[in-house]
Structures are given as structure tokens and as C-alpha cells.
Amino acid sequence: MASHRKSRPTGTRVAGIRTPALATAALTSVALLSQTATAAPSDDDRPSLEEVEKKVDDLYRQAGSATEKYNAAKERTAKQRKRVDTLLDDVAERTQRLNEAREALGSFASAQYRTGAAVPETATFLLADSPQDYFDRNHLMSRLTGRQKDAVDDYVTQQSATVEKRREATESLETLTASQSELRTAKSTVQKKLATARELLSELTAEEKARLAAIEEKKREEAARKAAELAKQQAEERERQEEAAQRESGAATGSAGSSGSGGTGAGSGSTTPESSHGTKAEKALAFARAQMGKPYVWGATGPGSYDCSGLTQAAWKAAGVTLPRTTYDQVDAGTTVAVSQAQPGDLVFFYADLSHVGLYIGDGMMIHAPKPGAYVREESIFYDGESSIHSVVRPA
């Protein structure tokens, strides 16, 4: 009997029971690992320190651009407010003169009423929508004396001028309202950009802040190297110019020596345009140096704090030169020169949107109000790379 019994397929049975269990366990493990990875993102998901630095720098530049827009809107608002005040004063004066002209006409009407002459015409004239309408209808002009006609003419003139000034004042008030709205928008934009930058920096760990400082130091070293190269290039150019001037001077002295004219000192007391500009530039630089250490504050023009264009404007004002308020206008306030030809006192503009400006002091260096949280300081004009330099302008 036993010889006819079929053996149990133990191997197949085991496989049939155990394999699904093992597969289920494996799938469960994969799912759990997948969920864990999704629930707890790795450090690789965080932006790199370089990305954070770039983002912060971009935000500061955007804030700088918004600051210049704020400065422009603030300047327009101030000018518009002054215009509105002037117009309102003018309207008040013209209204007074209109009232006086109306009183003069009233006196004629009273006189005519007392004498019984032409009462209807005068009353109708005073009640008409405009004097000219009445003239066209009733030909009152032929009935008026010379003095009365002068009074009517004065009234018409004052009424027309007053209406026109009131219209101008209304339009100026509307423009002022628009400028104030633009001012608030620009201010809000600056504040949001700066708040975002501060938030990004606050999220950095102590180690990341140390690494960021090291990156910035490396950038400063590279900027200083570029400044030294420019300083060497400019020094060599000055030497060539001095040698050429000496050769020309020697040749001129040799040709004039036999004449005995004694003219070697001629013109020593004259002032050339170059020397005059140099004197003004020295005054501007002296002022800028005196502001070093004062904080950058967006929209500030001194004396306790400055933004970039506020500093350059104040520096040249100390030298007797009036510059516009914003970088957008300052870039057109002089002659553009090559970076290699920059001289002390020149304005160095940065970025395609002209959102920053500094005052060149020579040897590849400048004095500027850099950004929020920083102070007026000396720094290489290559502080953000050579490509960031937009142009160099010599104030007129």
C-alpha cells in the first residue's frame, strides 16, 4: 500500500507558502523606505551656500534698483507738491481779484438801479452764465461807458484765468496722488526685498555663515587684485604722459632759449579747466572720506546716513556741483570715459539697471555706500566682478 502512495511535493509547498510572505515583506520595506525619504527630505534638497549667496546678492541689487525708483518718485512727489501749493496760492489770489471785479460790476448795477437806467440789462448781465453770452444776445457793449467796459473786461479776464488755474490745480492734485501711490509702491518693494534677504541669512547655520564669510573674503581678494592691476596700468599711463610732456617742454625751452624772452614762467598763475575740475574733485573726495563709517540707509541723503546716489550727490554738492538725485539721472550728468581712464572724483556706475554708484578715488578703488547693513567705506570697483561695471562718468 505504501508503495502506491504519492510523496508530498514539499519543495513546491514550501515555495507556495513562503514566497508570497517574503515578497510582501520586501515590498513593505521598500514602501516604508520610500515614505521615510518623502517625509524627511535630505540636506541635498536645501539650496547650496553659493545659491543662497547669489539669491541674497540679487535681492540686495533689486532693493537697490527699487531704492532708486523710490528716490525718483520721492523727488517727483516733492516737486508736484510744490507746484500744487503754488497753483492753489495763485487760485486764491485770482479768486480775490475776481471777487473785486464782480464787486465793481455790482456797483455799476446798483447805480443803474438807483437811477432806473438799464436795470433789466444789467441784472441779466450779472445773472448770465458768461458775460460773452450776454453780449452776443443783447449787444450790451454799445450801452456801456468806457469805465464800465473796463470793469467788464477785467471781470471776464479774471474769470477766465481763475477757471484755467483751477483746472491746472485739479490736474496737479491728481498727478500728486499718482506720485504718492508710486512712492508707496516703491517703498513697499524695497522693504519686501530686504526682508526676504534677511530671512535667508537668518536661516544659515553658524558653520554656513563662516563659510559664507570665507567666500566673500575670497571675492574681496580677487577684487583687490583687479584693482591693483588697474592701478599699475594707470600709473604706467601717467608716466608715459609725463615723459611726453617733459620732452615737449624741453623742445619748447630749447627753441625759445635764444630769444631771451624770459617766458618760462608764463601762464603759471592761470587756471585750466583740468585743474579746476581736479580741485572740485578733491573737495568731493574729502567730503566722501569724512562720511566713511556712516550707515547705508535706503533713500537717505545725509548727513547721518546715505544711500549710494545720496552720497555721490552730497559729495559733489560740497564741491559746488549739483548732481541729480538718482543714478538714472546722474549717469547723464557728465562725460563718459573708459574704466582705464577713470580719475579721482569720477562716478562709477554698476549693473545694467544702474542700481548702484560709487565715487572713484584712484588705483581701482572707490568710496561708496554699499547696501543695507553696511557702512560707507572704501572698496575695489571690482567688488562684484568686472562685468558688473556699467560705465564711468566724469561730472561736468
Give me the active site residues, please: 308, 356, 368
Cβ(322)–Cβ(216) below 8 Å: no
For β-strands 334-337 and 377-380, DSSP reports them as unpaired
> What's phi and psi for 338, nearest 5 deg?
-70, 155
C-alpha grid cell, residue 248: 615737449
CA distance 218 to 17: 66
Cell of 51: 545659491
Only one residue has cell 479774471, namely: 158
Contact present, 67 and 190 (Cβ < 8 Å): yes
Q: Are 49 and 215 in contact (CB under 8 A)?
A: yes
Cis before residue 303, ω within 30 degrees of 0? yes
> What is the rounded CA–CA span in Å between residue 168 and residue 85?
12
Task: Starting at the earlier edge strand, list the strands of the sheet with 334-337.
Answer: 334-337, 389-395, 347-350, 356-362, 365-368, 377-380
Residues 6+ apart with CB under 8 A from 299: 67, 70, 71, 74, 187, 190, 307, 310
